[in-house]
Structure 1
């Protein structure tokens, strides 16, 4: 594989990153015609798709869906009962039944396939690295004049990469402001979408190698205009204010004040006001605390999907002690109390096992360090003990990989 797209710049070429982020990102759609039809050939092809589908045991009625003219085909009409890789009974797509539906013009939807092939993984990784979001890919295989989904908007940004055949995309003027996947949004009716999609903004025919970017909330639909149209749809999701509220909630609930009862009725309005004032004051302190920002930094670093990571046999022959870690709780300190050493933060304290107070103090003072440095600085600890200490502090969310 020599043409895998491993950078965001390669994916949107010949559009520059500056132009994309200043004029289009989260603002309006963008069609990037291919400078060569095989631009994304390493990401997907008929041969790759066939090989993936023939990995029978990785598929279920959830991961592989069938639609005919916007209507989902019930699982029992294209699947059979089988024992899956977890030794559980599941509905597994049956090749003969699926092919029967395809011959009638049904569309095939393969969900969450970005970890199944190096070329698709590379694009997801590039999107995540450049934007800081989470990216996942679905594959859509449709036939001439058949449509998988009605007019709709997505709760994420869409990077549609066209692989084979042709497909007509219609972009509408209507756009919802920052929709999320909640009950209210997911239950909107077909009539609502038709009413709110607005006039047709642009009709675009995608051909092999083309890319179409659609902002979150923008109404659109697509219809295959040739037999055998394949495209990959990469959904990109970012951290939003709701995620910050979740971090605030988790930190607040560690404080007994937020678990306290509301005052009794006889304390009246004034009693409730005093109680609320304490809560809001404490919430304000948490919202500006170093611990919250440390937790946010850790959340940002972990806001991605993990794919791959193996490179055998080399991985089995060497061990990398140069991986770096960083302290993510700025209030962290070692204190001595009642002849015991305590690892203390704004959130609370935990007793330090005997002999680890010195290396933990060193970690806090150092801020950024590697396993190799920890081993060299503390020769009395075995390599295993150093590895275990790092693992425990990562689990405690006191430190995180860089």
Structure 2
């Protein structure tokens, strides 16, 4: 399943132009859809049987909108890596019998069919894509009104659930509200109901980041899959700019004492550093690094096709000098007295040049976030410059 199948019969062009990041939309299941077959009870039970996945970071129970302490349903389990705390199925079942709701996180890590969907959406949006399952029962509300910090696709699988989306929206939130009065502040801010819909098997509900919403099972039992989509935000720039800035002595120098000379020296120093940061923010180097980070989020998954194995294409490093230079104007390859721009594949170039030998398949696997044709073009460039040469290792 990809985006076009997920939102059918809505066309991707219409969805991206009118709804993505803008407005919520309910997409009823078209005739003949198999979206409701994404996950059912039998498959959920089988996934919950993969016990090693269900540590406290991946499974949650909520009762009357309050989280159940993991101490009540986790057991210490010895294993090859030591003792881990894992969910006890019998204890989980007991809480579900009491009316608790179950949240099973990161199901794409144990369900290949869900991984194919999250991979497709990660490639579509250059974003992290994660899948969670929600099992709840009639009249039980797992979560109070809240907003998510990412884009949400809710795919309804079993039963029915009523969703209310409110008119007001938090502006590009990156952290949840905290404090004893957090829920009261949310309830005061969410505004009137904008959309009130009941999802049935095969229906999809898209909710942009920041829209306040809540949901309540309206059938005896309910099961839905949520895909969270999180592209990089501007917050990434602080990390990247710090890395770039600290390569320069001016950013590693002590700051002037604000008490001296009425703070004039400090003011001048801060102004100079600020101007330099602005230059770095406009640089080609930062643009390329952001592109690489986005590519890493969108890196495609890979399935094995055993017993078939690829024939490896090996390349040996020659004794000719060649280095990657990380310039403000973008990474370049320096060899033979000239420079070649590398763009986002500079990380792969540096890896190949530092190794005595590699295979093309190794480079593609290690740098799967780069398109294979760009990796192949890089290897062709290194061959043309005499930095590597094909060879066949002795068996």
Equivalent residue number for residue 169 of structure 1: 163
Distance 1:221 1:38, change over 3 A: same
Matched, 1:259 2:266: no
Shift of 1:308: 4.6
Shift of 1:176: 0.6
Equivalent residue number for residue 54 of structure 1: 49
Shift of 1:316: 3.0
Matched, 1:243 2:250: no
Structure 1 residues 308-323: aligned runs within 5 Å:
308-314=301-307, 316-319=309-312
Structure 1 residues 95-174: aligned runs within 5 Å:
95-174=89-168
Shift of 1:214: 0.6
Pick from 22, 45, 55 the counterpart of residue 40 of structure 2. 45
Shift of 1:332: 2.4
The aligned length equals 356
Q: Structure 2, unaligned stretches of length 5 or more? A: 316-323, 343-349, 358-373
Residues 264-273 or 50-59, more deviating: 264-273
Distance 1:78 1:307, change over 3 A: farther
Shift of 1:342: 12
Q: Structure 1, unaligned stretches of length 5 or more? A: 357-366, 386-402
List per-residue Cα deviations over 1:333-365 (Å, max 9, x = no partner): 43799xxx99999xxxx9x88999xxxxxxxxx
> 1-side partners of 2:382 and 2:264: how far apart?
58
Equivalent residue number for residue 390 of structure 1: none
> 2-side partners of 1:169 and 1:122: how far apart?
27
> 2-side partners of 1:289 and 1:315: how far apart?
45
Shift of 1:39: 2.1
Shift of 1:267: 4.5
Equivalent residue number for residue 332 of structure 1: 332
Distance 1:31 1:277, change over 3 A: same
Please give the TM-score of this superposition, normalised by the length of structure 1: 0.78
List per-residue Cα deviations over 1:293-312 (Å, max 9, x = no partner): 221221221124x6752313
> 2-side partners of 1:235 and 1:222: how far apart?
16
Equivalent residue number for residue 318 of structure 2: none
Shift of 1:247: 1.4
Residues 218-227 or 279-288, more deviating: 279-288
> 1-side partners of 2:210 and 2:143: how far apart?
16
Equivalent residue number for residue 297 of structure 1: 291
List per-residue Cα deviations over 1:137-178 (Å, max 9, x = no partner): 110001111111111111111100001011111111121111
Pick from 262, 265, 276 the counterpart of residue 270 of structure 2. 276
> 2-side partners of 1:93 and 1:219: how far apart?
31
